[in-house]
Amino acid sequence: MIAALFPLPEAYLSILNILAFGTFAWGAYRNFEPFGPMTILAVVYALFAIVFNPISPVILPPMVWKTVDIAGAVLLLVTGRIVAK
């Protein structure tokens, strides 16, 4: 996700969007427990999955995308072990 901050070809960014969408969607699914302690994390992952949706892309200014990319990378680094369980 940090690589998206650098100028890259559009094809690479499309692949990154697909991978990010899949990762966040999987994380939302894995953390969803009705009325469980990780429901908030599942909602955050679902919101990121919506933003990185490759089928109907969200149009944001470049500076906002950079912020979303950094926030997504930090979220994955901080919560990666929780989702992997």
Domain residue spans of the chain = 2-84
DSSP 85: -
Q: Is residue 34 over pLDDT 90?
A: no
Q: How far is 22 from 45, CA to CA, in rounded Å?
A: 10
Q: What percent of the chain has pLDDT over 70?
A: 92
Q: How far is 85 from 6, CA to CA, in rounded Å?
A: 32
Q: What percent of the chain has pLDDT over 90?
A: 33
Q: How far is 33 from 40, CA to CA, in rounded Å?
A: 10
**pLDDT at site 38:** 65
Compute φ and ψ for 35, nearest 5 degrees: 60, 25
pLDDT digits (tens, 9 = 90+) for 45-75: 999 999 999 888 888 898 998 899 999 999 9
